[in-house]
Each structure stands twice: as structure tokens, then as C-alpha cells.
Structure 1
């Protein structure tokens, strides 16, 4: 039997979670619910992937520089379309249009309101930056040869961390289990075309969550992070590679759905 104090989560609440329409405490309730229900969690991940793809499809193409002035004048008109586009992003399938609208309006067991995305976890990013620095230090030392063999199955069995499918053109320079405040993490240093030396750090976050890739402002580094399920991932390269790191993070996250 479920605990009496377990939050009552309905389908509308899951739809609101997908559309980022919940407050922090409400998101926590939904994530606790999903952490105990793998099938529901898988459905939410699929819906988030569809929402992301719809968002990319609906996004207007970048304006050429000579048209930037005109683009600013059109900003007010675009804002009028924002509500319609938010509703379209809600839709995981055509038959859920009505349910998505209800979730956006705040109906259901949870009172849904516009909320801000959860703040990036500083400890995770700090641990990833430390692991990145150690990897670069090891690479520069003749007495500390890098480990170029990567066995994702063995690492998952030892740490419970699911690694994404990395680009075959990326060359592994070193792979280590690295300690962090969240527990053992996996630090992999690559040589990647277009990115140079790039490291991927993965660690179990301690709770279920789905956060799409986004940049983390960090002096001197290009850093992007995301979370799929119970594992968080951080990608780090040079400061001039920030946008390329974000694009690479999106490709990696796609392999985990």
C-alpha cells in the first residue's frame, strides 16, 4: 500500500511537469512519484523529447544581421503568438490537446502555475570541473598514463550510471571513476573534432529528474549539463566552444531516451 501522505499525482500533473508549469515543490512531488514508477517515468521522458522536438520545429530561424532591426519591431507580434506555441508544446499527441490546455489553466489535483526552471546544482558542476582539471593534469604526466579503454557496461554495473552513446569520432584519452559529493562519478576525457579536449562527467543525482541540456555560466570553460532519470551529465570544453558543447549535449541526451 502507498503511504497515506503520498501526493496524489494525476495525468494532468504529469502533462504540466512536461510543460514546466509546476512550482518547485510540485515538481519534487512529481519526481518522487516517477522515481517509484519506471513506466510512468519512461512515458514522461518520451513526452519531454517530443516537446523538445516540437519546440525546435516551431522556433523561428535566426534573422540575418541586416534584418535585426525589423526583428525587434516584430517582437510584439511574436509575443501574441507565445500562448499558442506554449499550448502546442504541451501536446504529446493530438488526442491530448484538451488535457494539455487544462493543465496549462491550472485544473487538477495540483494547482498549476508558471514556475521557473530548477536552478543548476552547483555541487554537480563543481565536481565536474574538478574532475576535468584532474583529467588534464593526468594527461600531462608521463607517470599517469591515460586509460583509453571504455566499457560502459562494466561502469554501469559498478556505479549504476548509464552513459550516453558517444560520437564514434571522439577518441577516448582517459576514463576514471571520480569521487564527488553525490558519490562515485565517471569522468571521461575525449579528443573530439570541433571541440578539442572535452570531458564528460556523469554522476547519480540522488533524485529523479529530466532537465534538458543548457549552458552553465562558468569563467574560462564552456559547460553544459543535463539530467535524464537519476543520472546527471556535464560536458566541458574550452570557453570558446560553449555553443558547440551545448549542441553536443543535446545529441548525447537524445541517446538516453
Structure 2
């Protein structure tokens, strides 16, 4: 069965190796039962693969026929995740992409690579028959992919569940796409994908599908501790959520987690986690991402702080201002995508602004009427979408909005209606 066909509610059946480790079997079963009991809302949401119009637009962008992906949803990637793949390949123009879990994402990634630089896709899946069928399916679209059968026979020292038997990996990987193994192996099994993170190239990217599920939220929480040089953000622009990790420009990523990985397999710990799950803490986000309101507050405070810093810089002769705005360099170096500014606005200063997660961009602007504004750009989650919202801060009013995984804030000495009008000139939904 290839990703052209309808699929059931659950993933393909796993042929589980027999193990004599009773405590492990009981522990893994406890995890699956606990996460299954609270995970049904995410499983139901996964039945939708996204809007048909969005899928058609994606296929049009890739110059693929509309019947190339007739069925999405269930255990397949949704349109939101597929669009992240296309966006990152277009931005990175990667030489090597590694994919864990073949299918719809293989077609999209291979076609995007064909259009943007011609890099190589290395795809691994645990089902031999599925690999053969997918290879033929991709060949029907004239796509050459290094797709291999990788049975779930390996074990990670740091994560529970069984992992892919992978061989012949590229020395350097520009993009890692994680859409397997399924949660039915173990809710935390995808955490073992971090065994590839040391191979990430400078500015390399990690994409994790199903990132809104409780298990993947715990995985993301631990990844943030283990890999401080990779900035992870949960994006909600699909039906199942995507975790986007961007490696900072460091010489080597270094894991800093000293936990003994085998501890995940103890029955007692599994029971304790199951008890937490039963209380609904994860369902409310207590063990996952920060709530949007908290993230928005931090983002708005940082935007206000960047404006104060910019005004102070203007008063200091020793501080050198840079009016050169190089969108491509900023995107290449930081992953930050800037909005298109009106042609009659003047850029006075462009600076990196340090935040807790990664550098943001602060730009001092002057409108055609001489109004002094500050534009702040970072990757953050807020209640806003394409249409700007207004928030009040100590220093004045802030208009903020989102576009994709980016958030923007516009501040300045203007009344609320005027600031909103200025923001709408550069916000996508205006």
C-alpha cells in the first residue's frame, strides 16, 4: 500500500521482535495505554490531512498533478507538514536530506529537491513492501530517491522503543524529516532521531511531524535540554503540529543531558508518567510548550525592549548604526524572514537583538510622513495570525501579527488607529 491509497486510522502493523525483558514489555505497554487514553483528540485530528485547496496549491507550486496525493491524513503527513518541507528545501537548497518514515513526504521532498538545487533524499522505512511500492510510485513521477528498508531492530541507549537499523548515512545532513516510527511502537520513540543531530550542517533544520501530540511534546522538551545549539519551535499551522529545529551557527552541537537513558524503561517511571497523564497535565500543555499567551507576552516584551535599545543607540555617538538591510543574508544566517516594506519607508538601522532562544532582528524605520517606527521580527507563537492585533506596553502600543512561523511587532509614537494602519501595510492579511 502506497501513499496514493486510503489508509486506516492506525499505522501499518508492526512485527514486534520477541523480548524476554518483562519489565520493558510492561513499561512500553503502560506508556502506550496511557498515551492512547489521552491522545484520542490528536488521533481524531489526524484524520484530516488539511484543506483540499491548500493541497492543490502545494501541488501546483511543485508542478505536480492534483492526483499525485489523492489521500492525506490518518498516519500520513498533512499539508501543513508538507509545506514546511517545501519551504525549508527552497530556503536551504540542501545537498542531503534524511527522512525517517517514507510516503507522502518522500514525494514532496524529492520533487522540491528536484526544483531547488537537486540534492539527494535518503529515506528509511521499516516496512519492506511499503518501501518497494513507494520507490515505484516515485519513479512514476521521474523522481530518484535513495529509499531503503530499515527494520525496527535497533535500540537506543537514551530512548525507549525500537529504532531503525540505518546504515550509510551522509557525513553531513542539511535537513532531517521525522515522520516515524509510529507512536504505537512507543510514544517517545521518535526521540531517538537525535542520534542524527550531530551530523546537522551549520544552519541545518529538523522537522518533526505530529509535534502537538503529548509524546512528541515530551520529546521536544528533552531535545531542548540535550541540544542547546538547536532552536526548537512548535508550529500550529497544520492539523497535527510541526516542531521546527534550526541549528545555530556553532562548530559542533553538543548534547548536555546526563540522564541515564535506560531509566525510561522502568515500570515505576512509566506508571508515574501515566499518573500525570491521567490528571490531564499534558493535555493542558503543562509538560509541553508554553501557552500562546505566555509566549506572546515574552515576544511583545522583547519587541518593546528592542525599541528602547534602539532609541538609546541613537543617542550614543559611540554606537554605529547600520542602514543596510540584506534580507537574504538575514534569512540565511538566522532563518528569520522579513516582510516586504513599503518602498517609501526609510531604513535607519538594522540590528540583531538577543533573545532567550535565538537572535531576533530589530529595524528602525521612518515612514514617508517622518514617523519613527521599530519593527521586531522573531520566530514565536502569538494569538495573532495574518491580521494585526494590538497590545499595550509600558512604552506604548504594539501592533503584532504572524506569517508562517514568524511573528512581527511594530512599535512607535503613533495612536492606535494609525499604528494599526501602518502594520496592515506590511501584514500578509491586510
Contact 1:182 1:203 in 2 (8 A): no
The answer to whether 1:125 aligns with 2:300 is yes
Structure having the higher Rg: 2
- Alignment CA distance shift 1:157-1:133 (3 Å): same
Matched residue, 2:340: 165
Which residue, out of 225, 228, 235, partners 2:400? 225
Matched residue, 2:415: 241
Which residue, out of 389, 396, 408, partners 1:214? 389
- Please identify, of 212-221 and 124-133, the stretch whose mean Cα deviation from structure 2 is larger: 212-221
Q: Higher relative CO (CA 8 A, sep ≥ 6), structure 1 or 2?
A: 1
- Alignment CA distance shift 1:33-1:195 (3 Å): farther
Matched residue, 1:8: 46
Contact 2:50 2:80 in 1 (8 A): no
Distance 1:206 1:38 in 2: 18
- Alignment CA distance shift 1:196-1:37 (3 Å): same
Which residue, out of 286, 310, 328, partners 1:153? 328
- Alignment CA distance shift 1:214-1:40 (3 Å): farther
Deviation, 1:161, is 1.0
Matched residue, 1:36: 81
Contact 1:182 1:204 in 2 (8 A): no
SS in 2 for 1:137: helix
Matched residue, 2:189: none
Matches within 5 A, 1:165-204: 165-194=340-369, 196-204=371-379
Matched residue, 2:427: 253
Paired residue total: 165
- Alignment CA distance shift 1:174-1:40 (3 Å): closer
Matched residue, 2:126: none
Aligned alpha-carbon RMSD (Å): 3.7
- Alignment CA distance shift 1:134-1:33 (3 Å): farther
SS in 1 for 2:404: strand
Q: What's the TM-score, normalizing by structure 1?
A: 0.54
Q: Deviations over 1:74-120 (max 9, x none)?
A: xxxxxxxxxxxxxxxxxxxxxxxxxxxxxxxxxxx9xxxxxxxx647
Unaligned runs of 5+ residues in structure 1 are 16-31, 43-108, 110-117
Distance 1:188 1:200 in 2: 5
Contact 1:170 1:192 in 2 (8 A): yes
Deviation, 1:163, is 0.6
Distance 1:153 1:137 in 2: 27
Deviation, 1:128, is 0.7
Contact 1:150 1:172 in 2 (8 A): yes
SS in 2 for 1:200: strand
Q: What's the TM-score, normalizing by structure 2?
A: 0.34
Distance 1:165 1:127 in 2: 22
SS in 2 for 1:144: coil
Unaligned runs of 5+ residues in structure 2 are 4-8, 12-41, 54-76, 88-238, 240-291
Distance 2:314 2:47 in 1: 49
Deviation, 1:145, is 2.1
- Alignment CA distance shift 1:123-1:14 (3 Å): farther
Deviation, 1:241, is 2.8
Distance 1:133 1:210 in 2: 25
